[in-house]
Structure 1
């Protein structure tokens, strides 16, 4: 299901379609440093990162786009490691779109949507600093 906000279209993630755009983000050394991750070296590593975080979440992952654009500028979805009626969100946004409040806007519409789905009673997000 596509979701929309004032400034974003959230389109169900299609890894084959969105991988090239998301790889640009995952390969960015400054983005990776801020995310406490290693930059991905190639498309396969970026595909693996997406699979690790979102592959078995019941298709509850969206690519973020500016309206009218086909470029994925980020991704938001439910973590793969669910097993309760509480779902946790994870998200990534390209560095050139930071500081605009886009992810907060996306998270609000995703949370509202998730809470309408059967079997989901609570939604949370966690920021973990390492190192």
Structure 2
């Protein structure tokens, strides 16, 4: 399955037409504030992101979905799964993450899309544990993780940038759906 429908969203694989809208989302400093080094991403960076996400789909059978509004077809952002490469505490584990355009904040889209991606991981793909990283201070993402049922498990430092990250996790046996 490479498409999931929720009451308001379609989670799907990436299309060529998604590059510019995602680039506009990732060019917004407010969107990127809590991601990586916090810097906005260029069109070229965004093209590399989509390419890497699609490669992960091909290699792992899961990845980061494009998030589209069901009614309008507008690209709202990205949500999905990836194999974490750092920090060492979760390297090799399947993690969940998201980024939505600012126009889509505060409407429950992140929770709705992340719930669908988590269910896809645990029920469709047979992954028995999903982790997440949340930068200390990112209360909006921490709230989404709480709604998903992921529990805080500790704090680690980002291996490159040095800021604190909360590690969250959920096992299939803990998942309430």
TM-score norm. by structure 2 comes to 0.61
- Looking at structure 1, the residues matched to 23 and 67 of structure 2 have their Cα atoms a distance apart, in angstroms, of 14
Q: Note if 1:93 corresponds to 2:100.
A: yes
Structure 2: where are the runs of 5+ without partners?
Answer: 86-90, 137-162, 165-177
- Looking at structure 1, the residues matched to 125 and 76 of structure 2 have their Cα atoms a distance apart, in angstroms, of 29
RMSD: 2.5
- The answer as to whether partners of 2:29 and 2:40 remain within 8 angstroms in 1 is yes
1:71 is aligned to 74
Q: What's the CA shift for 1:52? A: 5.6
1:21 is aligned to 21
- Looking at structure 2, the residues matched to 54 and 127 of structure 1 have their Cα atoms a distance apart, in angstroms, of 23
- Looking at structure 2, the residues matched to 115 and 33 of structure 1 have their Cα atoms a distance apart, in angstroms, of 29
1:54/1:91 CA distance change after superposition, 3 Å: farther
> How many pairs are equivalent?
128
- The answer as to whether partners of 2:66 and 2:78 remain within 8 angstroms in 1 is yes
Residue aligned with 2:24, SS: helix
Residue aligned with 1:10, SS: strand
Residue aligned with 2:80, SS: strand
2:32 is aligned to 32
Matches within 5 A, 1:1-131: 1-14=2-15, 16-35=16-35, 37-41=38-42, 43-51=43-51, 55-57=55-57, 58=60, 59-81=62-84, 86-118=93-125, 120-129=127-136, 130=163
Structure 1: where are the runs of 5+ without partners?
Answer: none
Q: What's the CA shift for 1:71? A: 2.5
Tell me which of the two structures has the higher relative contact order, counting C-alpha pairs closer than 8 angstroms and 6 or more residues apart: 1
- The answer as to whether partners of 1:54 and 1:80 remain within 8 angstroms in 2 is no
Residue aligned with 2:44, SS: helix
Higher strand share: 2
1:119/1:109 CA distance change after superposition, 3 Å: closer
Mark the structure with the bigger radius of gyration: 2
Residue aligned with 1:38, SS: coil
